[in-house]
Amino acid sequence: MARMSTPKMGAAVAVTPVPVDAVEAMKSARSVANKLDALLSSSLAHAGAAHTCRWHHVKAIGLTDAQRAAVAWIIAEEVMESRGGRSRVKQLWLDSVTTGTKLIGGDRDLLAAFVNDVFGVPGKPKSLDHLTGHVGEWLWYLHARDLLDPSRTILRLEPPKFTVTEQGADGLVLYTETGTGTTFFRLWETKKHTGVGSISNATGKAYTQVSKRAEEYLAKLTAPLSLSPGAVGDLGKELADLWIDGDPRAGVGVSVASDKVPPPNACFTTMGGHFMKFDQPGQLEGLLVSVEELDQIAVTVREYLWTAL
* Closest to 40 (Cα-Cα) out of 18, 65, 62, 17: 62
Of the given ranges (8-17, 104-113, 119-128, 284-293), which has the lowest mean pLDDT? 8-17
Rounded to 5 degrees, φ, ψ at 34 are: 55, 35
Per the model's pLDDT, the better-predicted residue between 242 and 9 turns out to be 242
At 263 the pLDDT is: 96
What is the predicted pLDDT for the residue at 13?
A: 66
Q: What pLDDT, in 10s, does the model give residues 29-44?
A: 999 999 999 999 999 9
Please state the pTM of the whole predicted model. Answer: 0.94
Structure confidence at residue 7 as a pLDDT band (50, 70, 90): very low
Report pLDDT for 8.
Answer: 46
Q: What share of the chain is helix, strand, coil (3-state, %, to 5)?
A: 45, 20, 35
Who's near 85: CB < 8 A, 6+ residues apart?
A: none
pLDDT band at 10 (very low <50, low <70, confident <90, very high): very low
Question: Rounded distance, CA 291 to CA 67, Å?
Answer: 12
Nearest 10 degrees: Cα torsion 178, 161, 72, 97: 120
Q: Quick one: which of 148, 147, 239 has its CA closest to 187?
A: 239
Mean pLDDT value across the chain? 94
Q: What is the pLDDT of residue 51?
A: 94
What's the confidence (pLDDT) of residue 199? 96
Rg (CA), the chain: 20
Dump pLDDT digits (tens) for 203-248: 999 999 999 999 999 999 999 999 999 999 999 999 999 999 999 9
Q: Where are the domains of the chain?
A: 23-306
Question: Is residue 59 helix, strand or coil?
Answer: strand
- Tell me what percent of the residues of the chain surpass a pLDDT of 70: 96
Residue 1's pLDDT band, with cuts at 50, 70 and 90, is: very low
pLDDT of residue 208: 97
Q: Residue 11: its pLDDT value, please?
A: 41
Q: What is the pLDDT of residue 160?
A: 94
pLDDT score for 12:
54
